[in-house]
Amino acid sequence: MFTTRPELAGTHGMVASTHWLASAAGMAVLEDDGNAFDAAVAAGFVLQVVEPHLNGPGGEVPALFATGADPRPRALCGQGPAPAAATVEHYRDELGLDLVPGTGFLATTVPGAWDGWLTLLRDHGTKTLREVLTFAIGYARGGYPIVPRISETIGLVADMFRRHWPSSAECWLTPGGSVPEPGSVLRNPVLAGTWERLLAEAESVSGREAQIDVARRAWSQGFVAEEVEKFVRVPHRDNSGRDHAGVLTAQDMAEFSTTYEEPLTVDLDGGWTLAKFGIWSQGPALAQQLKLLEDLPVSYVDGVATADVVHAAVEAAKLAFADRESYYGDSADPGVLADLVSDEYSAQRRDLLGPRASLDLRPGSPGGRAGRLPAFVAEGRGVGGLSDPSGVGIGEPTVLPNGESRGDTVHVDVVDRWGNMISATPSGGWLQSSPTIPELGFCLGSRAQMFWLEEGLPNSLVPGKRPRITLSPSLALRGGVPALAFGTPGGDQQDQWQSCFWLAHVRGGLDLQAAIDAPAWHTTAFPRSFYPREWEPGAVAVESRLGAETIAELESWGHEVIDHGPWSLGRLSAVSRDPESGLLKAAANPRGAQGYAAGR
């Protein structure tokens, strides 16, 4: 079948990401005898520069990886927690909020990306910090061509920048105060200077690992933390429609350190094992969906899923994400995860996959538990969509005025000739999330908007707890050997678009590129994780390439189908390694003409 690009194949190394400049930087590191972790770090820092509307230095990085020496998957948690002063009492009772704003300082968690990338580099890379950071510094200092979506995003918030966030106007608008045009060159010399100062402090000592640790402390216990605390104390407008100061402190940053975790692993048909982040994240939702769909006959005709496949996948997603709303979070019952992905529970839930579209949010009872939905959800307050009361943008990046979501976040996958493999979904700190810190050249993240301002929930706002993030990289083993790394931006859609990919590639037999190219879909029949937490029971977004007949069938089964055009859903990338031959493969998303794979 025809694909937009070839599936790449080689034996040296493969990089796939959401921007060609990041893939090129990662490949340059592999060509210089760096390993997959060196390449991922270099690509990750470039993504902070060239996709600033989707991530930045003040964000976070979750990653799943395995090494050539140890096939067991590991999880790198570069996700910072809620600050010590971020309490339900302060936000709800003292400030009068019912949701955490999607923008501004109240939505900030402790930045985790810098420490996350450097911890990975120290423990599993081979290159120095300067060697992997030099690409990003070059683009920040010398400039890079901006893609249309950067211009679109800046255009959406330009007036808010001028009125309320002057430091962001200074950073992201032209010297004349206008929105930069697509294809023009954008620079961030202040950010370049921040990185160069961190490097200078690192290189005051000798030794690769010692330098990396000095750079980590210079961020979390040095000038970066000092500037962050000073700036967030100044009230700025957020999308509650009011000005608020933040609660993040230098002490919060000093106390954070990246951790490694044992990921969730679930055995699936065909000798596959899927690894995902645990119950504190959205990750188990993909495992739940695939468990529900194990008995589904999967048929792809000329690379396109049939109506029965789409229907079953949509209904499985509704059940998995209903459980997400009731059971997932960093304060969750630690025993619930095993029950959620058990064969017994999956069989019970599979019986609910009926011939008609369900319009109800139906969390189950894993292990006999009685789940509890947030009051905001149980009362249906987000049904049908909510308007932003402030006029300064909503919590999820790149949502256009017509309501079309272009996806958010970035992603990178790398595999090398030694068998090292990593999947990372960096995010947060996008240019429209909070005001740019003028002395540092970057913004803070807004991931705390995913907490609920209600006590006693698995995902309640609690100091020191992590938000139930939508960031969801994936790693899969076959026969116990790491064989596939994949992921996508897209917020709540991430684990739905990854389900589309899995069904197409693993179950449908399409190669990596064909599976990424295949028409995608998702449902919005559960509350979004981003402010203002709206949802549309029964709604299904599809790419028109599914075909008029399939769309008509879905509508006849009760789905409210929304056609988003032929190429609009998903920004997947993937790499793979054949455990027997060692052959490496890669593919990337053609939508938006931005993501690319590179390799040889």
Give the CATH number, domain containing residue 493: 3.60.20.40
Q: Are residues 177 and 268 in the same domain?
A: no
**Angstrom distance (rounded) from CA 358 to CA 593:** 35
Same domain, 43 and 56: yes
Pairing of strands 560-563, 539-542: parallel
Q: Are residues 78 and 210 in the same domain?
A: yes
Residue 99 lies in a domain: yes
DSSP string, 363-428: ---GGG------HHHHTTTTBT----SSSS--SSSSB-TTS-B---S--EEEEETTS-EEEE--BB
What pLDDT is attached to residue 397?
A: 60
pLDDT digits (tens, 9 = 90+) for 386-440: 544 444 445 566 444 344 444 479 999 999 999 999 999 999 999 999 999 999 9
Average pLDDT, the chain: 95
Residues 482 and 339 in one domain: yes
**pLDDT tens digit string along 549-571?**
999 999 999 999 999 999 999 99
In a domain, 412, yes or no: no
Same domain, 281 and 145: no
Q: Is 258 left (phi over 0), alpha (psi -120 to 50) or beta?
A: beta
Residue of 242 and 299 predicted with greater confidence: 242
Mean predicted confidence (pLDDT) in 293-319: 96
Asked whether residue 505 falls in the same domain as residue 540, the answer is yes
Residue 7 covered by a domain: no
Is 127 domain-assigned?
Answer: yes
Q: What is the mean pLDDT of the segment spanning 271-297?
A: 97
Tell me the DSSP string of 30-73: HHTT--HHHHHHHHHHHHHHH-TTTB-TBSBEEEEEE-SS--S-
Give the pLDDT of residue 272: 98
Question: What pLDDT does 398 receive?
Answer: 46
Spatial contact of 326 and 361, defined as CB atoms under 8 Å apart: no
In a domain? residue 220 = yes
Instruction: Give the number of domains in the chain.
Output: 2
Whether 296 and 434 map to the same domain: the answer is no
pLDDT at 408 (0 to 100): 76
Please, where are the H alpha helices in 79-178?
88, 113-124, 129-142, 148-164, 166-172
208 and 301 assigned to the same domain: no
What is the pLDDT, as a whole number, of residue 385? Answer: 65
Same domain, 240 and 181: yes
Residues 270 and 299 in one domain: yes
Q: How far apart are CA 76 and CA 258, in angstroms?
A: 7
> Does a structural domain hold residue 368?
no
Is residue 315 domain-resident?
yes
Domain that holds residue 591: 264-360+470-599
Q: Does one domain contain both 203 and 339? A: no
Residues 314 and 175 in one domain: no
